Amino acid sequence: MDISATHLTYIFVGLSFSLYIGIAIWSRSTSTSEFYVAGGHVHPIANGAATAADWMSAASFLSMAGIIAFEGAAGARYLMGWTGGYVLLALCLAPYLRKFAKFTVPDFVGERYYSQAARLVAVVCVIFISFTYVSGQMRGVGLVFSRFLEVDINTGVIVGMTIVFFYAVMGGMKGITYTQVAQYCVLIFAYLVPAIFMSLMLTNNPFPMFGLGSTMVGEEVYLLDKLDGLTTELGMSAFTDTNKSTIDMFFITAALMAGTAGLPHVIVRFFTVPKVRDARISAGYALIFISLLYLTAPAVAAFARINIINSVDGMTYVDAPEWFTKWETSGLLAWLDKNNDGVVQYRGGNALQPTKPAFGPGREDLGQRALENLPTANENELYIDRDIIVLAHPEIAQLPNWVIALVAAGGLAAALSTAAGLLLVISTAISHDLLKKTFRPNITERQELLYARLAAAVAIGIAGLFGIYPPGFVAEVVAFAFGLAAASFFPVILLGIFSKRMNKEAAIAGMLTGLIFTFSYIVYFKFISPGSNNPEHWWFGISPEGIGTLGMIFNFVVSFVVMSVTPPPPQAVQDLIENIRVPK
């Protein structure tokens, strides 16, 4: 007997949510130390898994393989950029921040630079970066709910928020950590199972990461060569060719790496382990857990691209499979029959003008949704949103219903785990850095804990609003989070550890330079003058996505100049630096 995919999705999502709530009840926090850093008692392997779930968001789980599927080789900037940062974390930041043994990133900035002004700049950055990031997660939650559970996006967001509220507000970091461990297991299982199915179907190799380098079933040709052939035949650029300039690839990858190492919700995870040497190894475990997904992503991308080309190109619309019409109904797929032959032609170039579909009322003769877009000059008739690849490929490959349900539960785990980590960072920045350390130093620990829970509740409310009324620029502002983290926190923390000469004046000047430059560049090209957002107008051909690297370089230069003309930090701070450089 077949149970429908929708029913199975309800069962899988329901089971995983009950698990998260159970863990939350079991691991309530009773002190600020437990709420902020899980008491510092988390085993390095558990912290590695929690870091991986914290880190891998809706973007990694839902979007990344889709981007690689359509961009091919250039998608490597995300693969390298979002993993290489862990080397920087392990070698340059995590062990020293663990020795410092405080609760937050602004804590470090405030004490290392003996300045409340520096702390406040850091708090503003933390809150801005984290909210930016959280709104992206909410879109992921809404997407999964609306497509698989066929509920309204708003209902989906509210259910998701309620779950996060439950374990983030009750459990704090302790609840979040152990829930994230469970969420990691759910999400990695959900990612690998369909990938293994597809790898077996296409290459007979049960390991997707090796399947990518294997020959096709029943043929002598390698899978990647086959895909290069298919794509060029259809007038698309070959899968393994890069269509981005070298300088832009370089700058974007660097911004993502330094941004990863500077993101507050990642750094704070290393405050939760017992020892300095645990912080080092924990970054290694985190990267192993992350790489299970990241090494599989390019395989999923290539498999999905092959399957899409094979199943869609040349298909008559009236015979379209269910997934095709469902995603069309969701508005994430569109077909414009340019030559009126009733057959879907999938070719290179954008099918529509403007690129994103604008649906009119009603349906055309064959039942496809009416479009208000103009046709482009090329032969391509198909628009596919990149974000649907991971969710759609089990259906495209006609995998069993339980696999489809599993992917939905995995996508939710990825989005919710990241959202919880970010919300905690926001609430900590408010209760600890703004209240306890700045405006209300006399509050007791109980009061501080109450404020932390309140701040988490308010933050969840705001994040929920972002999900229900998504600002039209969600995708655009993700560049902000990484660019700003790279241009502000990364240099300030790095120099704070490795240079004893680095002082308050240099830190503030450097952070502000990096922030203002990066912020202005992104705002100019994304919002003020989006029409000129192309390589001709970019500085040195660097896109807004990669500009954080230049902001970071400016930050370093300004810091070096300012520290050479201002007095060194006080002796107490120099002793602090000596102290964090050794584990004992």
Partner 1 sequence: MSDNASNKTSEKVPEKSADTSNQYWQANLRLMYVLLAIWFFVSFVCGILIVDYLDQFRFFGFKLGFWFSHQGSILFFILLIFIYTWRMNLLDKRYGVDEGE
Tokens 């991308």, located at residue: 301
Q: How many whole angstroms separate alpha carbon 172 and alpha carbon 24?
A: 9
Residue 303: name the closest of 68, 5, 83, 144 by CA. Answer: 68
Nearest distance, CB of residue 97 and partner 1, angstroms: 15
Residue 73 and residue 240 in contact, taking contact as beta carbons nearer than 8 Å? yes
Q: Show contacts with partner 1 in window 397-436 (CB under 8 A).
A: none
Residue 453 and residue 461 in contact, taking contact as beta carbons nearer than 8 Å? no
Binding-site size, partner 1 (CB under 8 A): 49
Q: Which 3 state secondary structure label does DSSP give 517?
A: helix
Choosing from 4, 15, 277, 567, the residue that interacts with partner 1 (CB under 8 A) is 277
Nearest distance, CB of residue 307 and partner 1, angstroms: 18
The DSSP result for 202-219, as a single string, is HHS-S-HHHHTTSBPTTS
Nearest distance, CB of residue 89 and partner 1, angstroms: 9
What is the phi/psi pair of residue 52, to 5°?
-60, -45
Choosing from 10, 114, 250, 560, the residue that interacts with partner 1 (CB under 8 A) is 250
Q: Show contacts with partner 1 in window 457-476 (CB under 8 A).
A: none
Nearest distance, CB of residue 358 and partner 1, angstroms: 35
Nearest distance, CB of residue 33 and partner 1, angstroms: 19
**Cα→Cα distances 251→133, 261, 478, 545, Å:** 21, 15, 16, 8
Q: Does 281 interact with partner 1 (rule: CB under 8 A)?
A: yes
Whose Cβ is closer to partner 1: residue 288's or residue 450's?
Answer: 288
Choosing from 154, 242, 376, 447, the residue that interacts with partner 1 (CB under 8 A) is 242
Residue 266 and residue 497 in contact, taking contact as beta carbons nearer than 8 Å? no
Pairing of strands 369-371, 333-335: unpaired
Nearest distance, CB of residue 54 and partner 1, angstroms: 17
Q: Does 246 interact with partner 1 (rule: CB under 8 A)?
A: yes
Nearest distance, CB of residue 539 and partner 1, angstroms: 19
Give the bridge partners for 384, in sequence order. 333
Choosing from 102, 280, 305, 369, the residue that interacts with partner 1 (CB under 8 A) is 280
Nearest distance, CB of residue 222 and partner 1, angstroms: 4
Question: Which one of the spans 1-9, 68-76, 397-405, 513-521 is the region binding partner 1 (CB under 8 A)?
Answer: 68-76
Q: How many whole angstroms separate alpha carbon 207 and alpha carbon 517?
A: 44
Q: Show contacts with partner 1 in window 257-276 (CB under 8 A).
A: 257, 275-276
Structure tokens at 407: 């992917």
Tokens 């989906």, located at residue: 156
Q: Does 291 interact with partner 1 (rule: CB under 8 A)?
A: yes
Give kind and range of the element (H or E) at residue 362.
strand 359-363
Q: How many whole angstroms separate alpha carbon 434 and alpha carbon 442?
A: 12
Choosing from 298, 411, 514, 546, the residue that interacts with partner 1 (CB under 8 A) is 298
Whose Cβ is closer to partner 1: residue 45's or residue 124's?
Answer: 45
Residue 38: name the closest of 456, 421, 485 by CA. Answer: 421
Choosing from 288, 450, 528, 557, the residue that interacts with partner 1 (CB under 8 A) is 288
Nearest distance, CB of residue 295 and partner 1, angstroms: 6
Whose Cβ is closer to partner 1: residue 90's or residue 388's?
Answer: 90
Residue 195: name the closest of 406, 415, 413 by CA. Answer: 406
Whose Cβ is closer to partner 1: residue 215's or residue 325's?
Answer: 215
Residue 65 and residue 390 in contact, taking contact as beta carbons nearer than 8 Å? yes
Residues with Cβ within 8 Å of residue 77, at least 6 apart in sequence: 244, 249, 252, 253, 256
Q: How many whole angstroms separate alpha carbon 267 and alpha carbon 122?
A: 14
Question: Which one of the spans 140-148, 289-297, 354-362, 445-453 is the region binding partner 1 (CB under 8 A)?
Answer: 289-297
Residue 453: name the closest of 104, 170, 159, 128 by CA. Answer: 170
DSSP letter at 275 equals S
Residue 231: name the closest of 239, 223, 220 by CA. Answer: 239
Nearest distance, CB of residue 78 and partner 1, angstroms: 10
Q: Does 287 interact with partner 1 (rule: CB under 8 A)?
A: yes
Nearest distance, CB of residue 287 and partner 1, angstroms: 5
Choosing from 150, 372, 445, 578, the residue that interacts with partner 1 (CB under 8 A) is 578
Q: Show contacts with partner 1 in window 69-108 (CB under 8 A).
A: 73, 75-76, 79-80, 83-84, 86-87, 90-92, 95
Nearest distance, CB of residue 409 and partner 1, angstroms: 26
Whose Cβ is closer to partner 1: residue 16's or residue 549's?
Answer: 549
Residues with Cβ within 8 Å of residue 337, at least 6 apart in sequence: 317, 364, 366, 368, 381
Q: Does 582 interact with partner 1 (rule: CB under 8 A)?
A: yes
CA geometry: angle at 51 spanning 63 and 74, to 5°?
35
Choosing from 253, 311, 417, 488, the residue that interacts with partner 1 (CB under 8 A) is 253
Whose Cβ is closer to partner 1: residue 251's or residue 335's?
Answer: 251
Q: Show contacts with partner 1 in window 2-61 (CB under 8 A).
A: none
Question: Which one of the spans 32-40, 177-185, 279-287, 556-564 is the region binding partner 1 (CB under 8 A)?
Answer: 279-287
Give the bridge partners for 343, in sequence order. 316
Residue 197 and residue 66 in contact, taking contact as beta carbons nearer than 8 Å? no
Q: Which 3 state secondary structure label does DSSP give 369?
A: strand
Q: Does 348 interact with partner 1 (rule: CB under 8 A)?
A: no
Q: Show contacts with partner 1 in window 172-231 (CB under 8 A).
A: 209-210, 212-215, 222-225
Q: How many whole angstroms separate alpha carbon 306 and alpha carbon 195?
A: 13
Whose Cβ is closer to partner 1: residue 435's or residue 542's?
Answer: 542
Residues contributing to the site for partner 1 (CB under 8 A): 73, 75-76, 79-80, 83-84, 86-87, 90-92, 95, 209-210, 212-215, 222-225, 240, 242, 246, 249-250, 253-254, 257, 275-277, 280-281, 283-284, 287-288, 291, 294-295, 298, 578, 581-584
